[in-house]
Structure 1
Amino acid sequence: MENSMLQTCTDLIKNAKNIVVLTGAGISTESGIKDFRSQTGIYKMAPEYILSLDYFYNQPKAFYQFAVENLYHPEAQPNKGHEILAKWEEDGKVSHIITQNIDGLHQKAGSINVIEFHGTMKTASCRNCNKVYKTEEMISRLKSIDDFYICNACSTHNEKDRYIKPDVVLFGDTGEWFTMDGFNEIINIIHQADCLLVLGTSLKVTPFSTFPQYGREGTPLVIINKGDSPYDGTENTYVIHDSIGETISKINIGLNPSLL
């Protein structure tokens, strides 16, 4: 990375008092979690329809097998990037993290104000009565009950209405934040930011990709991501194509020289 750009981004973050962070798979790959869309991503192994609502309803057992093997990572630990963001939140510099990730690593690192835009793999819920099951319980049911994905806490005429779905947003699905109220809350959070920090996302998947557009005019957009994004080269945008953990660590030292 160029030292001048690193210094510019360090200065922007140093002067900011209300940073809103947008994160994607790139921050979690440094914790050993495979991403989806890169050259080595999960979509090289399976097409997107496996992560669709239709596939979940048509092949619930196969869906769960895939989801548990590829989307659930309870052993994964936060990396430097997660830890520094949590410290910046504790220091009052970061106000919110809005993430595409479903791994819970931001919370594991200590971040509190986290919006999981695409949901979480920690739990699953009955589509009828909304009973919440921990994913560990669903894995146990998978090993011991044939129709493990059918809720036994309620009853409906149609069994599919009682399917227990992981609390992630699938293709063709809607989530907690995919509502008018949810969108408006996110837009309001972004509009109040005095700096937007994007980490590990190409910003090519809607509607998440639209979020930087809701920043106030003149609000700096700092992007740290190994790949390109549609925002690269736009006004008030500062881009570093490098490792998130390494870059954030250098910026953090710039904020706190005593760490040297």
Structure 2
Amino acid sequence: MHSEVMPPSQLLAAFVREHPRVFVLTGAGVSTASGIPGYRDAGGNWQRKPPVTHQEFTGNEAMRKRYWARSLLGWPMIANATPNPAHEALARLERLGHVGQLITQNVDGLHQRAGSESVIDLHGRLDQVVCLDCSAIHPRSSIQASMLNANPGFATGAATVAPDFDAFNARDCALCGGMLKPDVVFFGASVPRPRVEAAFEALEEADAVVVVGSSLMAYSGYRFCERAHAAGKLIAAINHGRMRADALLHLKIDADCGAELTAIVGQLAH
């Protein structure tokens, strides 16, 4: 691993200069400054109960109702979140020609809202809901309104009393009556193969990899570092704490990703 003999932002700016087209891989740490909590602590361990799995969601009606009830309460936090300096800096790096492809493990859509264009949403988008029967895509905003109408008082009552998840009215597809699911990859499910292949193709064309705000504990993201390392491509990272890919890194900066990326943009823009 590279020895830090210069300020961290100068090290990473030099890394990007030496590798003009980078493959950027982002995780939950990019969005925490936007008010969206991450899943893991600095040691790579779960900070709270692990998320519901695909199998639990599709095979257990009570679990599905509980998910949608909690999602009804939590969606405004996602919908109202705004891009932070990390998102904005990555969008600026793309406009400067340094980012060939950005792969995000996040499902909040904040990279696109910040202006990034070459984005692959590896795990999908929470602002879309898919029908598992007819494959129709519904805007999350319309499903949110439908659930609020079907569960009057739930959003306000849940703040004062223990919610009755069993009585929650989860909505079905308005087109076919099928099961609705957020259009994201739940734990226990696989990323759609065409999405993975598109990311691998972008990785092949890149000069190097920069990981931002991810411990890479999930293999869905870690595999890109595995592939890059096998191909002899150098990997740099900005992330707090332990990473699954620590042994593969050429450069690691344990710091706030927004501040570091903003500093890097300032150096590369001149």
Same structural fold, with TM-score higher than 0.5 when normalized by the shorter chain: yes
5 Å-filtered alignment, 1:172-187, equals: 172-175=188-191, 178-179=192-193, 181-187=194-200
Give the letter aligned to residue 93 of structure 1. Answer: H
Note if contact 2:210-2:236 (Cα within 8 Å) is conserved in structure 1: yes
**More displaced stretch, 30-39 vs 96-105:** 30-39
Q: What does 1:80-91 align with in structure 2 at a 5 Å threshold?
A: 80-91=85-96
User: What is the SS of the residue equivalent to 1:230?
Assistant: coil
Pairing of 1:206-217 with structure 2 (within 5 A): 206-215=219-228, 217=231
Unaligned runs of 5+ in 2: 152-168
Conserved in 2, the CA contact under 8 Å of 1:119 and 1:168? yes
Residue segments in structure 1 that go unaligned for 5+ positions in a row: 156-161
Deviates more, 1:218-227 or 1:18-27: 218-227
Change in CA separation of 1:44 and 1:209 when aligned onto 2, cut-off 3 Å: same
Pairing of 1:1-260 with structure 2 (within 5 A): 3-38=6-41, 44-48=47-51, 50-58=52-60, 59=62, 60-70=64-74, 73-145=78-150, 147-154=169-176, 162-175=178-191, 178-179=192-193, 181-215=194-228, 217-234=231-248, 237-257=250-270
Of the two structures, which has the highest relative contact order with CA contacts closer than 8 Å and spacing of 6 or more? 2
For 1:120, the aligned partner's letter is: R
In 2, the alpha carbon distance for the partners of 1:85 and 1:246 equals 12
Q: Secondary structure at the match of 1:207?
A: helix
- Aligned-residue sequence identity (percent) comes to 29
How many residues of Structure 1 are paired with residues of Structure 2 in the alignment? Answer: 246
Q: Aligned letter for 1:220? A: L
Letter in 1 for 2:233: T
RMSD: 2.5
Residues 231 and 237 of structure 1 are in contact (CA less than 8 Å); yes or no, is this contact kept in structure 2?
Answer: no
Q: Supply the distance in 1 between the matched residues of 2:17 and 2:73 (Cα, whole angstroms).
A: 40
Other structure's SS at 2:236 match: strand
Matched-pair contact (CA < 8 Å) for 1:26–1:201: yes
**C-alpha distance after superposition, 1:51-89 (max 9, x if no partner):** 443235423221112234346611111111111111121
Deviating beyond 4 angstroms after TM superposition, the runs of 4 or more aligned structure 1 residues are 41-45
CA deviations 1:12-60 (Å, max 9, x no partner) are 1123321110000000001111011227x99545343x34432354232
Question: How many Å apart are 1:4 and its aligned residue?
Answer: 4.5
CA distance in 2, matches of 1:45, 1:65: 18
TM-score scaled by structure 2?
Answer: 0.82
